[in-house]
Amino acid sequence: MASNDELTVPQEDLAQAWQRTLPERLHGGDKAEVLADGADPQTLRVHIQSAGHQMLDFDFSVQYVDSREIHVELTDVEKDGQTVDERNDTIQELIADYRRHLHECAQALHHFTHA
Among the ranges given (3-17, 22-36, 94-108), the one the predictor scored with the smallest mean pLDDT: 3-17
pLDDT of res. 5? 77
Please provide the CATH number assigned to the domain covering 11-109. 3.30.530
User: DSSP label at 78?
Assistant: E
Segment 48-60, tens digit of pLDDT:
999 887 789 999 9
2: pLDDT strictly greater than 50: no
How do residues 65-113 score in pLDDT, each as one tens digit? Answer: 988 899 999 999 999 889 998 899 989 999 999 999 999 999 999 988 8
Burial status of residue 110 (CB atoms within 10 A of its CB: 0-12, 13-18, 19 or more): exposed
3-state helix, strand, coil in the chain (%, to 5): 35, 30, 35
Local confidence band at 1 (pLDDT 50, 70, 90 cut-offs): very low
What per-residue string of b and e applies to 47-80 under the rule 16 or more CB within 10 Å gives b?
A: bbbbeeeeebbbebbbbbeebeebebeeeebbee
The pLDDT, as a whole number, for residue 67 is 85
Domain ranges for the chain? 11-109
The number of residues making up the chain comes to 115
| Continuous H helices in the chain | 11-25, 89-108, 110-113
User: pTM here?
Assistant: 0.92
